[in-house]
Structure 1
Amino acid sequence: MVYLRKASARGKVNLGWLDSKHSFSFGHYYDANHMGFSALRVINDDVVQGGRGFETHGHRDMEIISYVVSGELKHKDNTGNEYIVPAGDIQVMSAGKGIMHSEFNPSADIPVNFLQIWIVPNQKGGDPSYAQKTVGKGDAAGSIVEVLVNQSGNNGALPIKQDAAISRITLKSSDTLTLTTASRKGYLHVVSGEVTAKLASEKETISLNSGDAIGLYINETMLLSTPTNTVALWFDLPE
């Protein structure tokens, strides 16, 4: 059994300075069939024009992750953090008991494209925190999976308040990769490129392109293959 979310079916918001595609219900976009997947609550594919952005606003009790696809994103919050997040970096803001922040495109003319990701925490309150990580380019052995975020923050990952992890998957032409969920759930979001997914429980293969996603329930195995260079995010989630 799978949960399929095609890019073309996502919620759409275009404010001129912001072009956003919502994988799940968010803001004025509501779809009872797409309220989130496990603890994963939001994936917004945002393109922000030069010199524009999200003015200072508040959050609490949410793990907010930004993965910058292209361009740069400027983060500023009321705890003293002020950083530029370049393409390839990921930032994690744990809102805790409350934080005020803004996210801006510091370039005057180059758009920034980033994935805004929200994960519901498994504990409320606490002091807010911020962390940033530069995503690796793969090692000499051709490593294609890098853990970016997890609960413990071990092995160079950024910590979050949830029994969940986010990994970046990089596949080159003719690469294959097997993903399994065991007693958990999994969610694959294609950032760029295309993959073919073959699930053990399904007869047909499923083609996924940029912006497409597939959610796996417990005890599922999925074989990925690609004809081209592909980048995807894999979410390991609680049942």
Structure 2
Amino acid sequence: MITVRKSEDRGVANFGWLQSKHSFSFGHYYDPAHMGHSVLRVINDDVVAPSAGFDTHGHRNMEIISLVLEGDIIHQDSAGHRQVLPAGEFQLMSAGRGIFHSEFNHSRAKPLKFLQIWIEPNQHGTAPSYQQKSFGSELGLTTIITPDGANDTLQIKQNAKLHQLILASGSGLTFNTSIGRKLYVHLITGKLLINQVALSAGDGAKISDLQQLELLNGGSDTVTALVFELP
């Protein structure tokens, strides 16, 4: 089964310095029909004004993934990390028993665009940790996050995987997963066909009871997407 969540149907927040679209219920936006998918709880599509950002705040027992689409984030946390996260790099912060952090737009002139993603962990009360890495922009499917950190992927405290999908115009591939796994696809750019079901930029797709997906670029622009494998 494939259920499409259209971009224009997502929750919207506008605080002036922050404009956000929520794929699932978050903050002041609540929709009981969209509370997440398996352990995937948050996908926020954020645009942050120049020099603005999120002041120091805390998290506990959550795996928090950030992917910058345009611009750079300045990240600082209570574990002593102070990093710049540029466009294209993935960040995974395991909040564990508790961590405080802040995130700001590094630019004084241009907006910051990034995805904020939360996944519930299967281990609670662990020591907080921080990982950051660029995986490039090769065509095809690139594995970004795994439960064991195999092949230099980022390691998550959950039986979940995250893949980066990039397809040139006219190209496609077959994606296979194990029995019982749930999938979620978030389309960043382009037009994507999933078993002939069409997605446009900003759309998401909840997928269950399917072990094989045919992923095809359905337009003239490059497809960029995130593919989640979930318990």
Do both proteins adopt the same fold according to a TM-score greater than 0.5, normalized to the shorter chain?
yes
Verify: 1:48 aligned to 2:33, yes or no. Answer: no
> Structure 2: how far apart are the matches of 1:91 and 1:103?
12
Amino acid at match of 2:159: D
Q: 1:230 aligns with which of 223, 226, 231?
A: 223
Verify: 1:112 aligned to 2:112, yes or no. Answer: yes
The answer to whether the 8 A contact 2:178-2:211 is kept is yes
Give 5+ residue unaligned stretches, structure 1. 199-204
CA apart distance, 1:3: 2.3
1:174 corresponds to which residue? Answer: 170
The answer to whether the 8 A contact 1:181-1:216 is kept is no
Verify: 1:187 aligned to 2:184, yes or no. Answer: yes
Q: 1:145 aligns with which of 141, 145, 148?
A: 141
Query: For 1:59-98, what aligned pairs fall within 5 Å after superposition?
Result: 59-98=59-98
What secondary structure is seen at the aligned counterpart in 1 of 2:199? strand
Q: Deviations over 1:114-161 (max 9, x none)?
A: 1000000001011100010012132xxxx5111111110111111110
Runs of 4+ in structure 1 over 3 Å off:
none
Amino acid at match of 2:56: T
1:6 corresponds to which residue? Answer: 6
> Structure 1: how far apart are the matches of 2:203 and 2:176?
19
> Structure 2: how far apart are the matches of 1:220 and 1:195?
18
Verify: 1:212 aligned to 2:212, yes or no. Answer: no
The answer to whether the 8 A contact 2:4-2:199 is kept is no
1:25 corresponds to which residue? Answer: 25
Give 5+ residue unaligned stretches, structure 2. none
Q: Deviations over 1:86-120 (max 9, x none)?
A: 00001000000000000100100111111000000
2:155 corresponds to which residue? Answer: 159
Query: For 1:113-128, what aligned pairs fall within 5 Å after superposition?
Result: 113-128=113-128
Q: Which moved more, 1:182-191 or 1:54-63?
A: 182-191
Amino acid at match of 1:41: R
CA apart distance, 1:222: 2.2
> Structure 1: how far apart are the matches of 2:193 and 2:60?
38
What secondary structure is seen at the aligned counterpart in 1 of 2:136? coil
CA RMSD of aligned residues (A): 1.0
Amino acid at match of 1:188: V
With the length of structure 1 as denominator, give the TM-score of the two structures.
Answer: 0.93
What secondary structure is seen at the aligned counterpart in 2 of 1:125? coil
What secondary structure is seen at the aligned counterpart in 2 of 1:218? coil
Q: 1:137 to 1:2 in 2, by over 3 A?
A: closer
What secondary structure is seen at the aligned counterpart in 1 of 2:115? strand
> Structure 2: how far apart are the matches of 1:4 and 1:219?
15
> Structure 1: how far apart are the matches of 2:8 and 2:23?
10
CA apart distance, 1:192: 0.8
Length, aligned pairs only: 228
> Matched residues, percent identical?
48
> Structure 2: how far apart are the matches of 1:44 and 1:79?
24
CA apart distance, 1:193: 1.0
With the length of structure 2 as denominator, give the TM-score of the two structures.
Answer: 0.96
The answer to whether the 8 A contact 1:181-1:218 is kept is no
